[in-house]
Structures are given as C-alpha cells and as structure tokens.
C-alpha cells in the first residue's frame, strides 16, 4: 500500500510501498478514506516532537476510515464500521506500537497514523460513528474540531458575553471561533496575519478580524487563545489580557524558545491572570464525538467552508505547502 513516510528531518515526505504486519492484541486494521493535515505534522517534519530518533516513520493523527480487520481482544468496533481516528485516548485496549515493513525492514509507528491507504491503530485511538457521517467531518473530529470544542468547553472557563480572541486562524483556530460562538463569547475577535483569511474567519462566526492583536484598542480581552506558538505574538497577547484574563497556549513554541512578559507586575492585577497550555481540549473521544455529531446533524456546527483544499496522497507535499502558506482552512488528504 501507499504510505507517506517522513524519512529525514526538514525534507518532503516520500510516498513508499509499505506493508502492514499481522495485527497484535488490541490492534485494528483501518482502510483510510481521508485525513486532515495538522500543524503538529509540520512540527514533526522539523523534528520538534522529539521524533528524529524514530525515522523513518508514518504520519497523521486525524482521519476517517473503515474497519477491515480486528486483532485479538478488540470489542469496541466491528468490521465495516466507519471510524474517527484520533490521537486522544478513548475506550478499548491500548495496544503495542504497530509495525510495518518498509524496504524489507520492520519499522514501528505511533499508536495512530492516517496518511497511508491502510493503518494499524490501537483500539483506543478509534471511535465508531454512524455510517452516514461525512468523511471530512469525521476526520476533523480526530483533532482540529474536537480539540477546539474541548478547549472552549473544558479549558477556558468562558462565561456568557466574555470577550475572546483567537490568534492564528488555521484549522484549529477557525474551529475555536465557532466553538466560542456556540458558548456566546462577545465579541469574538479573529487575529491572523493573512488578510485573505478574513472571510473564512467571519464565516466561522468571528465578529472582528484583525491582523495583529495590538490593533484591538477597545478594551482588554478576557480570553486569548494562541495557536501560532510564536513567542513575540504570545508576549504581545499577555499585554492585552483583562484583569481576569486567561491566555491559553495551543501552538507550541519551538524547543529552546523564551516567552517575555513585559511589566510582569500586571499579572497580579484584578483576579490574577492565567497563562496555561492546553491539554488537547481534554477531549474524551467516546463521550464527546457522539455529542458533536448530534450538533452537526442539527445544523449547529458548520464545517464545509473549512475544507479549502483537498489533495490525493501522492500530492501530500503540496498539501503541506498550502498548510505552511497560512492560506488554508483545513487541508484534506484523500487516501482512498
């Protein structure tokens, strides 16, 4: 089967003929349909995820597929099920690391990968969904959408009418705007250095679009969520926090980087400001995915405008180029 393989740091992925090995206890063979590309994969390409020692390795952590084969002990999914493939741990067995054969050598992979025609995944990294659930929507339930909904629901302590800014409006950022709208943040400020993102942000329920957080002059902001991981952007955000402000870090600064806090005494103002790193929205796949599908089926989650680019797996590096350009909503890779 075809698989996109990261063979060397800072190099394009290579499409290789990779073979699956026999399933071990708690593993599931999934025929992949579509996957979303996430900023986390760009970090892996740069070797920022401590992953250089695992090369060559397979990639991807949000996808939709069909269950083809079950390893011993698997009980939460059955053959033929459509599944969301997610990186957060859900129900079922935590299996050993999957193995594949590349160039007659056995390689190991993460507990879930999605950027190949088939994937061996740990049972607890997939969740069954109704068969009529659209594949692209399923894919973003694996990371971008569920992370965003989880962050707003579980990690911001957002109160009705609090002001909120999202900095960096890529896949997760656009979903954060919509999640903030579901919880009645007011106003919802989208910040992205790319002016071309304005329409996508407004379609995702932003009230205001700015290219820099410093341009917001009206007031201080109650909740700021940074998805860029850029130290200077994060430092400027801290200055914009209200006295009860919470800054949530979603984007991860590169290893060895510092974040400066100017006039740090201000952190003691009011109720004490909070800076914290997200834990993937604390998503609990088996509980949250059914709730999110219900919202989608009821028309309360709009996702179609997010799928701005789609590529075949053979063109995956074009997909990463679009992701790097900052022009995309969510880049979808077809792995059929």
The reply on whether position 332 binds Zn ion by CB under 5 A is no
Q: Which of residues 42-101 bind Zn ion (CB under 5 A)?
A: none
Listed ranges 45-53, 142-150, 175-183, 236-244: which one lies at the site for Zn ion (CB under 5 A): 142-150
Parallel/antiparallel/unpaired status of strands 63-70 and 27-36: antiparallel
Does 38 contact Zn ion by CB under 5 A?
yes
Stretch that binds Zn ion, among 39-47, 112-120, 265-273, 293-301 (CB under 5 A): 39-47
Q: Which is nearer to Zn ion, 236 or 278 (CB)?
A: 278
CB burial string 143-153: b at 16+ within 10 A, e below: bbbbbbbbbbb
Is the separation of the CB atoms in 129 and 293 below 8 Å?
Answer: yes
| Number of residues located near Zn ion, criterion CB under 5 A | 3
- For residue 56, whether the previous peptide bond is cis, meaning omega lies within 30 degrees of 0, is yes
Which of 13, 20, 34, 143 touches Zn ion (CB under 5 A)? 143
Q: What are phi and psi of 24, to 5 degrees?
A: -100, 175
Q: Min. distance of Cβ 188 from Zn ion in angstroms?
A: 22
Residue 75 C-beta-side C-alpha neighbours within 13 Å: 4
Query: What are the phi and psi torsion angles at 85 (to 5°)?
Result: -105, 120
Closest separation in Å from C-beta 87 to Zn ion: 7
CB contact burial 195-211 (16+ within 10 A = b; e otherwise): eebbebbebbbbbbbbe
Q: Which is nearer to Zn ion, 3 or 250 (CB)?
A: 250
CB nearer Zn ion, residue 38 or residue 303 = 38
Q: How far is the CB of 184 from Zn ion (least distance, A)?
A: 26
Question: What is the closest distance, in whole angstroms, from the C-beta atom of residue 142 to Zn ion in the complex?
Answer: 8
State how far the Cα of 58 lies from the Cα of 26, in Å rounded to an integer: 19
One of 40, 230, 303, 306 touching Zn ion (CB under 5 A): 40
- Indicate the residue among 156 and 175 with the shorter CB distance to Zn ion: 175
- Binding residues for Zn ion, rule: CB under 5 A, are 38, 40, 143
């Amino acid at each position: 089967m075809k698989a996109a393989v990261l063979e060397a740091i800072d190099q394009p992925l290579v499409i290789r003929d990779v073979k699956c090995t026999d399933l071990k206890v708690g593993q599931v063979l999934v025929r992949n349909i579509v996957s979303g590309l996430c900023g986390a994969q760009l970090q892996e390409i740069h070797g920022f995820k401590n992953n250089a020692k695992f090369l060559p390795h397979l990639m991807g952590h949000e996808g939709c597929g069909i269950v083809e084969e079950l390893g011993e002990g698997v009980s939460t999914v059955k053959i033929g099920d459509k599944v969301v493939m997610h990186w957060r741990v859900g129900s079922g067995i935590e299996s050993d690391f999957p193995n594949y054969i590349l160039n007659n050598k056995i390689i190991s992979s993460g507990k879930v990968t999605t950027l190949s025609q088939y994937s061996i995944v740990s049972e607890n990294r997939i969740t069954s969904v109704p068969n009529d659930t659209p594949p692209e929507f399923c894919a973003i339930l694996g990371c971008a959408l569920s992370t965003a909904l989880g962050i707003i629901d579980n990690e911001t302590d957002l109160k009705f009418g609090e002001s909120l800014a999202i900095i960096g409006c890529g896949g997760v950022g656009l979903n954060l705007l919509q999640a903030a709208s579901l919880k009645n943040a007011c106003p919802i400020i989208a910040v992205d250095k790319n002016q071309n993102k304005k329409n996508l942000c407004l379609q995702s329920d932003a009230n205001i679009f700015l290219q820099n957080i410093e341009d917001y002059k009206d007031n201080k902001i109650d909740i700021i969520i940074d998805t860029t991981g850029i130290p200077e952007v994060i430092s400027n955000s801290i200055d914009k926090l209200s006295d009860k402000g919470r800054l949530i870090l979603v984007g991860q600064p590169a290893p060895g980087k510092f974040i400066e806090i100017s006039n740090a005494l201000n952190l003691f103002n009011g109720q004490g400001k909070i800076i914290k790193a997200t834990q993937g929205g604390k998503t609990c796949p088996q509980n949250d995915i059914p709730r999110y599908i219900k919202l989608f089926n009821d028309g309360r989650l709009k996702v179609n405008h997010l799928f701005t680019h789609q590529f075949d797996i053979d063109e995956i590096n074009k997909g990463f180029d679009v992701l790097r350009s900052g022009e995309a909503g969510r880049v979808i890779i077809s792995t059929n």
